[in-house]
């Protein structure tokens, strides 16, 4: 009687190589997605518009330079550093000191009123705040605009005081903001053509992309919780008592996730009414379904 042949089993080595190649492909795909998303975010974020001043060579005009340093959307204010670059004939070219008293008056009015620079000193920078009108409730699509910023520059004191030509230049960069400047035209005694400026602030695309990602995370939490709870209620999946801590962790994670949204949306804004509140309600609903499933399985 001929021997019975047994079916040959495939060697283990090819199977191991296949498993390792599949794992490597999975890890490679995850890394590619991660690196692509990070590179895409930095590319989007690098497109933020910043303000560079025009020519700072004063020439015959005195330049009043405003360097924007901060914006406070809830207070509708911006902070700026004001510096004066004296025009021709107002500064000692060797030591940089003023040859006459110089007074700067900014419009709209700021904290310091008139800025005085006595003769024989080097002009310094002064910090001030200005109004930028906007609506913080429209976050993250809020937009803020200053009034027309202009300046009058005087030399001398008393009856010898006289206007000198001057113009306003604005510079600055703020993370998460596009800053643009327009020159609406002359509006002061010292100003010529394009001597004034209006500054416009809007959120850049980088934070908007991050906000979208965080909103997707918030939407995923109740979706996963409801799916797991309904599956256990219908008996399609085994009841897992440990899920109670998982539901609680997701519920208490909503507010911290909301608080990392760029730009600090004001409490009670539309993001809370349209998304955060409904995420909390859906998570509580998932916990209720989970408790019902627990009462059925515990009997």
**pLDDT at residue 70 in the model:** 93
Q: Are 172 and 68 in contact (CB under 8 A)?
A: yes
**Which helix H or strand E contains 106, and what residues bound it?**
strand 102-107
Question: Which of 145, 110, 142, 116 has its CA nearest to residue 128?
Answer: 110
pLDDT tens for each residue of 193-223: 556 788 999 998 888 888 998 999 999 989 9
Q: Is the pTM higher than 0.85?
A: no
Measure the CA–CA gap between 273 and 286, rounded to whole angstroms.
20
β-bridge partners, 65 = 83, 169
Percentage of the chain exceeding pLDDT 90: 12
3-class DSSP assignment, residue 137: helix
* Tokens 């998982």, located at residue: 246
| pLDDT tens, position by position, 105-156 | 888 866 667 788 888 888 888 888 889 999 888 888 899 999 888 888 888 8
The helix (H) or strand (E) run that includes residue 277 is helix 277-298
Q: At what angle do helices 277-298 and 205-233 cross, to 10 degrees?
A: 20
Give the chain's length: 299
Q: Where are the domains of the chain?
A: 15-46, 62-203, 207-298
Cβ–Cβ < 8 Å for 169, 106: no
């Amino acid at each position: 009687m001929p021997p019975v042949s047994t079916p040959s089993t495939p060697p283990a080595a090819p199977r191991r190589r296949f498993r390792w190649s599949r794992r490597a492909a999975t890890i490679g795909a995850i890394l590619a997605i991660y690196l692509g998303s990070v590179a895409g975010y930095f590319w989007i974020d690098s497109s933020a518009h910043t303000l560079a001043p025009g020519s700072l060579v004063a020439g015959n005009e005195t330049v009043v330079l405003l360097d924007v340093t901060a914006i406070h959307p809830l207070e509708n204010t911006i902070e700026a550093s004001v510096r004066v670059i004296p025009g021709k004939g107002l500064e000692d070219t060797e030591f940089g000191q003023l040859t006459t008293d110089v007074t700067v008056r900014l419009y709209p009015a700021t904290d310091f009123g008139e800025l005085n620079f006595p003769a024989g000193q080097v002009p310094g920078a002064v910090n001030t705040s200005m109004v930028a009108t906007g609506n913080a409730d429209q976050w993250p699509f809020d937009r803020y605009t200053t009034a027309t910023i202009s300046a009058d520059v005087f030399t001398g004191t008393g009856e010898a005081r006289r206007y000198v030509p001057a113009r306003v230049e604005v510079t600055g960069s703020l993370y998460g903001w596009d800053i643009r400047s327009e020159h609406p035209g002359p509006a002061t005694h010292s100003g010529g053509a394009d001597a004034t400026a209006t500054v416009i602030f809007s959120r850049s695309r980088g934070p908007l992309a991050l906000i979208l990602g965080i909103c997707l995370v918030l939407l995923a939490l109740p979706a996963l919780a409801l799916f797991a709870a309904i599956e256990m209620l219908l008996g399609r999946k085994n009841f897992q008592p440990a899920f109670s801590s998982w539901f609680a962790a997701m519920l208490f994670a909503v507010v911290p996730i909301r608080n990392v949204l760029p730009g600090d949306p004001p409490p009670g804004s539309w993001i809370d009414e349209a998304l955060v509140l409904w995420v909390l309600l859906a998570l509580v609903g998932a916990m209720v379904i989970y408790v019902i499933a627990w009462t059925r399985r515990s009997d």
